[in-house]
Structure 1
Amino acid sequence: MTHRWYKPETLDCCTVEQLTLLKIGCLALCCTLVICSWSAWAECVQVAGQNAEVAEVMPLGPLLPSDPLQNETGPSAMPLIPLIRSKPVETTAENTTEAQPDRTLETTAEGTTALSSASTDTDDEKETVSEEDLDGSCESVGKSRRSLGLIARALQKSGLKLLAKLEPTEAEPNVIISPLSISLALSQLALGAVNETEGLLMNYLHGNNLSCYHETLHKALEQLKSDDLQIATRIFLAQGLELKQKFAEDSQRFYESKPVALEGLQQVNSWVAQATKGKIPEFLTSLPPQLLLMLINAVHFKGEWIARFDPQLTSKGVFYLNDNQLVDVEMMEGPKHPMSVYVDPIMEAHVARLRFQKRKSLILVLPTSGQVNVSRLAETLSLSEVYSRLPQEQDVKVTLPKLKLEYGQELKKAFTNLDLGLIFSNPDLSGIAEGSLIVTSVKHKSSMELNEEGAEATAATAVIISRMSTPIFSVDRPFFFSLVDDKTKVPIMMGVVNNPNPGAPTMRRPEPGNKDKEGYPVDKSEVSSKGLPPK
């Protein structure tokens, strides 16, 4: 068998891309993991800065039959995971690690029961496997309200931890991610992870609090699927790559993800475009060389407000970036919008809930002072507690900015800081296929749009309760938001909006008593035109 080596400029063959799109009451998410061979990756690195010639292509076996998308109105694209070949395992007296083709992750629906230990026969692992195998308890455990609650809490915690590692920039002052999308991508990867790699992924995904993680996540996904929220997955395989039977079976069982022959770029982009209902027409511009596998998970949300905003009431307003700056925005207004609002003394914030039809809600957290502190939110925010504290709905005068935001970020550094660096260096993914595999990059893109008809994952709010008969809820300064499924409490989307109109010039906030309520333009050398919050 001959191998193929690539020039340094083709290193992007090993990328993991996540593309998330939220659009007018519609949410589209896409995440990609690229798995390549370690030997090829090492060679690419070795010849960096040189002109490496391309040799013969490694012969690969027959393609799997193509499997067209069955849901023509399917969800919007989400996680795609491409892999390359990894470094061959060297067996020495000191580092001998036996391949365990049958283990392929002792997963139980929705994620592995993985342990943080690098060894596969620790007492804890034996106990976990014993519980699963004795009476098939994972089937019943996965359905329990407590387990589903733990899944929702795990998705929230992992999402907030990642969000805290992503700093806003001048180009992208708003940070938007999908905990559901990212967790589904990593959960599929975890199905083929072994030993320490599995343990690290499981610790990130649920803190090793769920012995039946995959089963429980699977049950949660079943409850999440509805007319306004659909989830679809796909495995694209390069020629000759044979998945291990357990990985293929578990992918189908837990995530309904079937392997399909990778025929070309158009095939992938067509699937993504269809899954996102045309919102992501060109997901990839080229297929990475040495690509072996892509795991794609697509989520599409389209929701309508329980009470729509009247477009005729939308008018020019201001959004206060901080104590000194503001920016012009289009503000939607609902004179009597049904919502729940309360002040949370622990989070030191106003918390509000705006409902969509079909049991989805937008939870808004607006700090009473200062910028949004995501690290503090990660320690204090509990969506289940928020729901338990929400007062009865009342008619509130709501002003909410129209949003059309985009976000893109390489997540490798963030995941490395979250103790997942091993998946980029020397992971054990032997449960997926023969040979050593490696993930080299994780990229995330998201887009969010909110209008009068509805939202999918939207921006939110500043809360002020007036003494008039109709309270006022004004979203006019930085806020945290989360799009949540009311039944499972699973966060579909979350983010921080620091500037809903990043392309517009910022203005000086008027001093008290200044009659110029619109403010006036400031020197661009003094204030970023993007409205980035001061550090």
Structure 2
Amino acid sequence: MQRLGNAITNFGMDMFKEILQETTKPNVIISPLSIVLGLAQLALGSVNQTEKQLQKNLHFNSLNCSHRVLRTAIDIFTKNILSIASTIYIKKGFHIKNPFLEESVKFYKSRPQLLTGVNAEDTKMINKWVEQMTGGKIKTFLNEVPSNVVLLLLNAIHFKGLWKVQFDPRATSNDIFYMEDGKTVQVEMMQHPKYPISGFHDDDLQIEVARLSFKQNISFIVVKPMVNTGLNNMVQKLKVTELLSRFYRARPMPVKVPKLNIDFDLDLSQALQSLGLGSLFMNPNLSKISSEPLIVSGVQHKVTLELKEEGVEAAASTGIAVSRSFIQCNINRPFFFIIRDDISGIPLFLGTIKDPKPRFRKEPQDKMEVNLERMRKMEMLIVPK
């Protein structure tokens, strides 16, 4: 499970760094676990070079029986902290091979559903499934089903984490958040006089790192630059698996955390191509799915993150480190965060927050779309070549 955690962390950071280079949106949030589940299911239907590329990019080469390990992780999470659902939509008349369907059910509990061929009905059916699986948080996932789609792999993850020590809403008050461009914005800042924090400074990277705990062995880890410049550059330099090995025993201290309610949605196609998976969109070998030639036409990702007083709704060097002690933890400038399972190390969500109140400003548009809210969701569109 820890090897799986490292694999998903490494893949998630690879993906996240590519997205940061592509998007112009101020806030970026992804669910590495959800993306991996979608690509791993696709790998069930791939062979030869396509399968090898997926295994390599997912960092699964160190895992034996990666699908079984993922199944174990899903079972553990769904008993405790997450709601995870998967399904396959198949176009009427498209022949899909039974072994792929059987393995999809076995490892991902992804049962097939038949598309009617009537666009309006199919769109309504898919959106209804998404709404149900996300507790009503995403009501419209698709505006329409593309006419050339023969297969849709879809999954949804919903996480509701409660702080180990909850914030008192009466202590929440307006405070200043310092933006990268030198401007400031008033935000609602949650406060606690003695929150148990584990943290450290890294003078080489010029960062501050703090970990706040949720119940059920989940952590909210924040990394912010010591000076308010270059969050993207800081993230590009991070080696998360090394960073997360340096936490010490938590101790109580004053903490301020901004309340957040952020949406993010994007098409992952460009980022996946930049990572070396361009063949999925041009000439993949998906012969375990069907004898017909297929390509992946799109990989959609949607997420919503709400951080509030009760919790969040929605992922090694050798040496001796001497760290300065924290006096207080004040998250009042742009930061990178990880929501992570402490036992396996699997990241549920990764994100950067530069603007805590984007709904009051028009966000720039770019080629990617992502939506983040108490859940994360992914679809993979597969069409004939």
> 216, 240, 245: which is aligned to 1:381?
240
Q: Is the 8 A contact 1:224 1:485 kept in 2?
A: no
Please state if 1:202 is matched with 2:55. Answer: yes
Larger Cα Rg: Structure 1 or Structure 2? 1
**Which residue is 2:98 aligned to?**
245
Alpha-carbon distance between aligned partners in 2 of 1:169 and 1:418, rounded to the nearest angstrom: 12
Please state if 1:480 is matched with 2:336. Answer: yes
Alpha-carbon distance between aligned partners in 2 of 1:397 and 1:315, rounded to the nearest angstrom: 15
> 425, 435, 439: which is aligned to 2:296?
439
Structure 1: runs of 5 or more not aligned: 1-147, 459-463, 506-528
Alpha-carbon distance between aligned partners in 2 of 1:170 and 1:437, rounded to the nearest angstrom: 28
Question: Where in structure 2 are the equivalents of 1:276-425 lying within 5 Å?
Answer: 276-322=134-180, 324-345=182-203, 347-369=205-227, 370-373=229-232, 380-382=239-241, 386=244, 388-425=245-282
Question: Shift in Å at residue 480 of structure 1?
Answer: 0.8
Relative distance call for 1:162 and 1:169 in structure 2 (3 A) is closer
Cα deviation per residue 1:413-442 (whole Å; 9 max; x = unaligned)? 211111111011111111101201111222
Alpha-carbon distance between aligned partners in 1 of 2:128 and 2:11, rounded to the nearest angstrom: 31
Alpha-carbon distance between aligned partners in 2 of 1:180 and 1:201, rounded to the nearest angstrom: 15
Q: Is the 8 A contact 2:192 2:254 kept in 1?
A: yes
Normalised to the residue count of structure 1, the TM-score between the two structures is 0.61
**Which residue is 1:255 aligned to?**
108
Structure 2: runs of 5 or more not aligned: 117-121, 316-323, 365-385
Relative distance call for 1:170 and 1:162 in structure 2 (3 A) is closer
**Which residue is 1:212 aligned to?**
65
Q: Is the 8 A contact 2:180 2:354 kept in 1?
A: no
Cα deviation per residue 1:459-483 (whole Å; 9 max; x = unaligned)? xxxxx966xxxx3110011111011
Higher relative contact order (CA 8 A, sep 6+): 2
Alpha-carbon distance between aligned partners in 2 of 1:169 and 1:501, rounded to the nearest angstrom: 22
Question: Where in structure 2 are the equivalents of 1:94-113 lying within 5 Å?
Answer: none
3-state secondary structure, aligned to 1:334: strand
Alpha-carbon distance between aligned partners in 1 of 2:133 and 2:312, rounded to the nearest angstrom: 18
More strand by share: 2
> 144, 147, 156: which is aligned to 2:9?
156
Count of residues in correspondence between the two structures: 351
Amino acid at match of 2:68: E
Q: Percentage identity across aligned positions?
A: 39
3-state secondary structure, aligned to 1:154: helix
Relative distance call for 1:170 and 1:150 in structure 2 (3 A) is closer
Amino acid at match of 1:247: F
**Which residue is 1:224 aligned to?**
77
Alpha-carbon distance between aligned partners in 2 of 1:170 and 1:253, rounded to the nearest angstrom: 36
Amino acid at match of 2:160: K
Question: Shift in Å at residue 376 of structure 1?
Answer: 5.2
Mean CA deviation greater in 161-170 or 403-412 = 161-170
Q: Is the 8 A contact 1:305 1:454 kept in 2?
A: yes
3-state secondary structure, aligned to 1:225: helix
Please state if 1:451 is matched with 2:324. Answer: no
Cα deviation per residue 1:333-378 (whole Å; 9 max; x = unaligned)? 1122122122235543222111111221111112223322467556
Q: Is the 8 A contact 2:188 2:259 kept in 1?
A: yes
Aligned Cα RMSD in Å? 2.5
Amino acid at match of 2:240: L
Amino acid at match of 1:501: K
